[in-house]
Amino acid sequence: MNRFKNPYDYLKYFGVTDPKDICLDILSKGCDATVQYRMLTGCEGYIVGVKDSATIFVSNAVSISRQRFCIGHELGHWMLDRGTPRFSCKAEDIGGHKIFQKGVEARANRYAADLLMPEFLFKPAAVDMEMSFNSVRKLAKLFQTSIMATAIRLTRFGSFPAIFAWYDAKNGSRISCVRWPEVPSFIWPHEQLHHETYAMEVLCGKSTDSGGPKRIDASYWFDTRNAYDHDVYEHSIKGYGDLVLSMIWWKDESMLDELS
Ligand SMILES: [Zn+2]
C-alpha cells in the first residue's frame, strides 16, 4: 500500500508528465482509495478509511473542478492524517483560498493544490503568460481547477510580479491576498476597494468581468510612497459566491524596484 506524504512523489511514482495525466479516479486507486460520487448533505466530501483502504465520497452537485479539489483534499487527509477513521469536510473547509491557514483542513487544501497543479507542470504552462484572468481561465481549463485556486497558483508561479486579492462583494472590504514571491510583503492592496477601480465596477454590478488587464493609477490600489508616480494593470471579475477577484500586475517593475 502506497502512502505519499509529498504529492510530487505521488505524481512522479505514477509517471505523471502532463496535466491531463492527473486523473484522480486512477491515482486514488493507486493508494487504495476509491472515489464515489453521490448526493451529499451537509458536506461536499468525506473519506472513510478502514485499515489500509479508504472510500472517498464526493458531492455530485458541484462542478468538476470543485469535485477534483474535494478529491485532492480528501486524498490529503488519507496521506497525511492516517489513523483518523473519518473526515467529513464542509464546503468552507475545502478551498484554494484557505491553503495559507493552519490546521488539518488547510494542510489538506495545500495537498490538493500541489496534487492538481504541481509546480513542475504549472510553471512551464504559465511561463510568460500575462498576469490576468485570461491566463487563469486557460490554465484552469488545462488543469481542470477552479478560478480561485488557479489564480493563487498563477500568482505564486507566474513569470511576472502581481498580487491577487479578493474582496467581499457586499461591502468592498479586502478578505485576503497572495503575492508573487518577490513582491515585498509590506505591499498590501487597500483594505477597502477604491471607487475608481475596475473592481468597484464589478462590485456595483456594471459587469462581471472588467475585460482584461487595464492600466490604472497605482495609488487606487496601494499606498506606498511612490504609488502616485506609477501605473499598474488591473483585471477584476466576479468570483464564486460573494467575492470580487482582482489581479494587479506590474508590467513595469520600476515601482517595485524603487521600494526594494
Ligand atoms: Zn477536510
The residue type found at 76 is G
Pick the last residue of a domain from 89, 116, 143.
116
112 C-alpha vs ligand 1 centroid, how far in Å?
Answer: 10
Q: What is the pLDDT of residues 187-227, one digit of tens each?
A: 999 999 999 999 999 999 999 999 999 999 999 999 999 99
Apex 150 CA angle, 155 and 227, nearest 5: 30
In this structure, of 26-40, 89-103, 107-121, 246-260, the range with the lowest mean pLDDT score is 89-103
Are 133 and 158 spatial neighbours (Cβ–Cβ below 8 Å)? Answer: no
If asked whether residues 12 and 105 sit together in one domain, one would say yes
Question: Does residue 101 sit in the same domain as residue 183?
Answer: no
Give a yes or no: residue 2 inside a domain: no
How deeply is 35 buried, as exposed, middle or buried, from its count of CB atoms within 10 A (0-12, 13-18, 19+)? buried
pLDDT in tens, 32-62: 999 999 998 878 888 888 888 899 999 999 9
> Is there a domain that residue 58 lies in?
yes
Q: Do 12 and 111 fall into the same domain?
A: yes
For residue 155, how far is its CA from the centre of ligand 1 (angstroms)?
24
How many residues are recorded in the chain?
A: 260
- 141 found inside a domain: no
Residue 100 has a pLDDT of 63
Domain span at 11: 7-116
| Residue whose C-alpha cell reads 490538493 in the numeric block | 112
**What is the 175 CA–ligand 1 centroid distance (Å)?**
21
Separation of CA 160 and ligand 1 centre (Å): 32
Asked if residue 91 is part of any domain, the answer here is yes
Minimal CA–CA distance to 236: which of 96, 97, 136?
A: 136
Q: Which grid coordinates are listed for 132?
A: 490576468
Structural domains counted in the chain? 2
